[in-house]
Amino acid sequence: MRIDKLDTPAVLIDLDVAERNLRRFQTYLDDHGIANRPHIKTHKIPALAKWQVALGAKGICCQKLGEAEVMADAGLDDIFVPYNLIGRAKLERALAMARRVQLSVACDNADVAEGLSSTFARAGMELPVVVECDTGMGRCGVQTPQEALRLAQAVDRLPGLRFDGIMTYPPRGQVEHVSKFLQATQDLLAGAGLDPRVVSGGGTPDMWRAHEIQGVTEHRAGTYIFNDRASVAAGAATLADCAMTILATVVSRPTADRAVIDGGSKTFSSDRAGEGYGHFLEYPEAVLHNFSEEHGWVDLSKCARRPRVGERVRVVPNHTCVVSNLHDRMIGVRGDRVEATWDVTARGKLQ
C-alpha cells in the first residue's frame, strides 16, 4: 500500500532512517566498548526493541514495570527498570518478572531498598540494584558521591539484593560535571571494596559524548531510534535523521496566512522544543504555533508557496516518546510504501 491511501492523521516511521540511526549509534558504542541498552519508551513496540537487540544492544531499559512486562512477554530477556519501585503490587510484579528475565532496578533511597530486600529475600532470590545518582538533572538520585556510597553499602548489606553499580540520567551539556561525579563515586566505592559492575549513562542529547564519562559501561538512549526536533536542537541529529513524521491533512485555510491541520495536542502532545510544535517537510517556513486537541494552527506568513484545503503534509514532531504514548498504532514506511503496521503494545502502561 502507498502512503497516499492512509487516512490522516497517522504516525509514520521511515524505516531506512531508523535503521541508519540504530546502526550508527550501535557502531559508535561498539567502537568505544560501551554496551547499548536502549530505552524503549520512545517506541513502546516489541518488534522495534528486538530490532535494537538484533543490531547489538545488550538489553533494554523500561521506565515502568508495565512496559517491562510487555517486552518480557515478547521475549526480551535483559531488562533494566531505573525507577524506585514502591508498594506491594509493584514489588510482587517485580519478583514475578525476575523469575523469567534478567531484571535489574535502580533506587535512590533506603526505604525503597528495604522494600525490594524484604520481597526478594523472602523469595530466596537476589535482585541486582544500582544506585541512582543526581548528577545535576534535579530529578531523582542521591545528591553526592558520599551519599551514593552510603546507599550502596546499605544495598550491599540487605538480604535479597546485590549491589550492581551506579546510574544517572545526565543533564544536557554537562558531560564533564557528570563524569566527575561518577568518577568520585567509583573511587569511593573502590575504597570501600564495592565494585560497580555497571556504570550506566543515558540520554540522546549527549549520546555522542557517552565515551567521555569515566568508567561508563553502558548507555541508555531512547530517542536516537527516531530523533525529533528536540534531538536536532540538542545537536544530536539533523532533520534528515528524523524517522518519525505525522501525516496530516490541511482541513481549513481561514485566511491567507493561516492553515489548520487535523493533528493537535492529541496527536503531537504539547511538549515544547524551540519555536512551535513541528517542522513541515513540504513547507519548512510554516510555523505550527498552537494546538487544540484536534487542530494544529499553522502560520503561513513566511511561506512563498501555501497549501490548499485537502492537501497532505508531513510534520516532524518535537518529542517522539510522548507521541508514541498517544497512539495505538504506528506505520513503518520505505519511500512512499507502507511496509509495517505495529500496535504500540506498551503504550499507556502507567504502573
Q: Which residues bind its own copies (CB under 8 A)?
A: 7-10, 41, 63-64, 83-84, 86-87, 89-90, 108-109, 111-112, 134, 138-143, 249, 251-255, 258, 260, 262-263, 265-267, 269-272, 290, 292-295, 297, 308-310, 321-322, 325-328, 348, 350-351
Retrieve residue 72's grid coordinates.
518480557
Q: What sign results for the dihedral spanned by CA atoms 42, 46, 48, 53?
A: positive
Is 138 in contact with 174 (CB distance < 8 Å)? no
Smallest distance from its own copies to CB 299, Å: 10
Q: With respect to its own copies, which residue has the nearer C-beta, 242 or 273? A: 273
SS3 218: strand
Q: With respect to its own copies, which residue has the nearer C-beta, 16 or 293? A: 293
Smallest distance from its own copies to CB 214, Å: 23
Q: With respect to its own copies, which residue has the nearer C-beta, 96 or 322? A: 322
d(CA 302, CA 317): 20
Smallest distance from its own copies to CB 13, Å: 16
d(CA 229, CA 278): 7
Smallest distance from its own copies to CB 20, Å: 25
Q: With respect to its own copies, which residue has the nearer C-beta, 34 or 296? A: 296
Smallest distance from its own copies to CB 30, Å: 28
Q: With respect to its own copies, which residue has the nearer C-beta, 41 or 314? A: 41
Is 86 in contact with 118 (CB distance < 8 Å)? no
Q: Are strands 329-334 and 10-14 parallel, antiparallel or unpaired?
A: parallel
**Residue 208 buriedness (CB in 10 A; 0-12 / 13-18 / 19+):** middle
Q: With respect to its own copies, which residue has the nearer C-beta, 7 or 336? A: 7
Smallest distance from its own copies to CB 26, Å: 24
Q: With respect to its own copies, which residue has the nearer C-beta, 279 or 347? A: 347
Smallest distance from its own copies to CB 112, Å: 7
d(CA 278, CA 172): 21
Smallest distance from its own copies to CB 54, Å: 26
Retrieve residue 136's grid coordinates.
545535576
Phi first, then psi: give them for residue 205, nearest 5 degrees: -55, -45
Q: With respect to its own copies, which residue has the nearer C-beta, 16 or 111? A: 111
d(CA 24, CA 325): 25
Q: Write down the residue that cell numbers 550492581 correspond to.
A: 164
SS3 231: helix
Phi first, then psi: give them for residue 74, nearest 5 degrees: -85, 0
Ramachandran region of residue 79, left (φ > 0), alpha (ψ -120 to 50) or beta?
beta
